[in-house]
Structure 1
């Protein structure tokens, strides 16, 4: 199928997917209002096979040391699949499936599949990483850029994490868990009951970001946007909390955005 942009529609919601630009959600409009920051690097992109910063672009798998390109020196950031074109496996009126093969510079072969399912009041993204050969560590996450203001109203971010990962001077978790601090944030939080973060634009819209995963990065240091990023482990997780993908056990994760008018 073509890699041209795909538009999904349900009720007064419309989603545009951009397979050729890293398989990202380029646009989410609800009642005609755009919720995602626009631009080639923005929208909402998948983070695979790692999330956030990878320390010095290096990780170990057993006795082997692997090096990834330093695209955010001195670290590697946000995986590899946002940099390439995805294929369209299926697309309908309110649902689409995209796939992307893992390969160089990632040292193993594998496949990433993302399902986008839209209803009138929610968008659910489900992603999996599969291998048919060698097992390898991996992470899954999403990096949405929500517009800070909507209808002239600035967003409020509400959530109740159990802890915050202490952040070192290199922007990576130190391994210590601390009590959550007030923003602004470029920080990872733990939510053992599952990610549940509410974005509220007063008098406009309320949107909940939920996931069964227990890790979320919140980034609100830019004037234009706020990022709420559910993921299967913390930044540098290939080194500190790897999840193994095997031929009989893929890595899977799901994120849902649900919204209602105010």
Structure 2
């Protein structure tokens, strides 16, 4: 199948999937209102095979050190799959499955599969990474850019994390956990019971970002948009908290966004 954009519909919700542009969700409209910031770098892109920054682009796998391109100098950021073209494996009226084969500069062969399922009042994204050979460390997550404003008041972000990862001057966690601080944020938080963040556009819409994963990065330092990013580990996690993808155990994660009118 081609990798042209796919439009899914359910009730008055509409999602545009862009396999050819990094497998991202290019748009989410509810009742005709677009919730995601538009533009080829925005929407909601998959972060895989790592999330956030890798310190100086380097990570170790056993005795071997690998270097990734420094696309956010002096670090490497947000994986490689958002820069590639994905293939369409299956598509229907309200769901689609797209795949991406991991290639250089990532040093290990593997395949990423993303399942997009739209309901009248929810969107569920599921991503899995499997190896086509040796085991390797990886992370998966999502980086949505929600509009700060839908034409009324600015969005409100509500969540109750157990801790905040202390952020060093290099934007990476120091390894110390601290009590959550007030925003603005470009920070990683721990939610051991699962990610649970509510975005409220007063008088318009409430949207809940949920995931069984326990890590979420919240970024709200830009005027146009706010980001709530569920992920399988903290930034630089390939070094500090690696999750191994093995021939027997793929790495899988799911996030569900559910909404209601106010």
Common fold by TM > 0.5 = yes
2:21 matched to which residue of 1?
21
What's the counterpart of residue 245 of structure 1?
245
Q: Check if 1:7 corresponds to 2:7.
A: yes
Distance 1:255 1:90 in 2: 20
Q: Which residue of 1 aligns with 2:181?
A: 181
**Counterpart position of 2:102:** 102
Give the unaligned 5+ runs of structure 2.
Answer: none
Do the aligned partners of 2:152 and 2:202 also contact (CA within 8 Å) in 1?
Answer: no
1:133, 1:46 → 2: CA distance? Answer: 23
TM-score by length of 1: 1.00
SS of 1:149 mapped into structure 2: coil
Give distance in 2, aligned partners of 1:133 and 1:106: 14
Equivalent positions of 1:1-262 (< 5 A) are: 1-262=1-262
Displacement, 1:152? 2.1
Listed one character per residue, the Cα deviations across residues 43-99 of structure 1 (whole Å, up to 9, x for unaligned) are 000000000000000000000000000000000000000000000000100000000
Q: Partners of 1:132 and 1:202 in 2: how far apart? A: 47
Give SS of 2:45's match.
strand
1:207, 1:260 within 8 Å by CA — same for their partners in 2? yes
Is contact 1:56–1:70 with CA below 8 Å preserved after alignment? yes
4+ residue runs of structure 1 moved beyond 2 angstroms? none
**Number of aligned pairs?**
262
Q: Secondary structure at the match of 1:27?
A: strand
Q: Any conservation in 1 of the 2:157–2:197 contact (CA below 8 Å)?
A: yes
> Structure 1 residue 132: deviation in Å?
2.6
Q: Once the 2 structures are TM-superposed, how far is the Cα of residue 103 of structure 1 from its aligned partner?
A: 1.2
TM-score by structure 2 length?
1.00
Tell me how far apart the structure 2 counterparts of residues 168 and 102 of structure 1 sit (CA, whole Å). Answer: 30
Instruction: Report the secondary structure of 1:150's partner residue.
Output: coil
1:11-47 per-position Cα deviation (integer Å, ceiling 9, x unaligned): 0000000000000000000001000000000000000
